[in-house]
Amino acid sequence: MLDYKTVGLTHEDLKEFYKWMLLGRRIDERMWLLNRAGKLPFVISCQGQEATQIGTYFALKDEDVLAPYYRDLALVTARGITAEESMLAAFAKQGDTSSGGKQMPSHFSKKDLAILTQGSCVTTQVLHAVGASLSLKMDGKKAVALATLGEGSTSQGDFHEAMNFAGVHKLPYICIIENNKYAISVPSHLQYATDDLSSRAAGYGAFGEQVDGNDPIAVYEAVKRARERAVNGEGPTLIEALCSRLTPHSSDDDDNYRPSDEMKLEKENDCMIRFKEYLVENEVANDDWFNQIEDEIKQEINTATKNAEKAPYPLPEEALTHVYDQGGEKDA
């Protein structure tokens, strides 16, 4: 794992990294339990990718625009979508910030946090983010737009169109591939014929870099440099973060297609385990602190779950609320 001192991080920074990683993990785990209890219809997991997401979050600024994909629970939680708001979305309740209870789970969005709403078709979010980055450049803002996606989505045409446009126009755009080695049941060697997806950046006129996605410090350092290049007019960056998928593709997937020895290795390389060991080895935190954070997060998630279960469902007359824009001028 990268030395935190070389990138200017403090012990308190590392504790914040861990806290948000753990919150994302525990919300996700609770949703799986609720799904298996028959209370939630669908879960798609961030487990194994929290290090990439939290390293990314801490390298960004509040003014930066996010276009996340469906596994980015930890990222959007750190950005400001609360555990309760995520539970409301999962239960399809009225207070869901993305659609008022009418969107699929894990379709994160919140306007005041600059989190763009996403479609169910994979990879469309990269085009939305590139459009946002063009707007930022035209308005002369020192901000970036960032999109995330899985490695399977890089086989879609939208990905190439977005990268090509961003490269041609030197847009303040960052694209992060959260490579967990499986596009549902299709392994990476059947998806692309390269060992480094970030090497494609050269063809778009962008900067490319592959990082250890299980190391939040390495991801933080890569995204921080990418942001600096972007706001200085040096164009887009394509980052491939090599991470793990510790669950089936979704709660509807049977992942017996994955070899047992592979899954054993992935669990041993779990970013939560690795980062906790790193904090202990560097005397950043002790058992008392870890236990305190666990207790605080458990209480927060218990409250969020109870409130979401009690919350009302959307009313029939709200069918079009948060579907079409409610603003605009009235007819004269």
**Residues 54 and 217 sit within 8 Å (Cβ to Cβ):** no
Catalytic residue among 30, 227, 245, 322: 245
Residue 274: active-site member:
no
**Amino acid at position 106, single letter:** S
Q: Kindly give, in sequence order, each residue whose CB lies less than 8 Å from that of residue 211, ignoring residues fewer than 6 positions away.
A: 218, 219, 222, 239, 240, 241, 242
Say whether 213 sits in a helix, a strand or coil.
coil
Q: Kindly give, in sequence order, each residue whose CB lies less than 8 Å from that of residue 301, ignoring residues fewer than 6 positions away.
A: 26, 27, 30, 83
Phi, psi of 180 (to 5 degrees): -100, 10
Residue 245: active-site member:
yes
What one-character-per-residue DSSP string does 23-50 give?
HHHHHHHHHHHHHHTTS-S-----TT-H
Residue 30: active-site member:
no
Catalytic residue among 249, 278, 322, 324: 249
Catalytic residue among 11, 36, 257, 313: 257
Burial of 121 (0-12, 13-18, 19+ CB in 10 A): exposed
- Name residue, tokens 């309740």: 93
Neighbours of 186 (CB within 10 A): 13
Three-state SS annotation for 162-186: HHHHHHHCCCCEEEEEEECCEECCE
Catalytic residues: 245, 249, 257
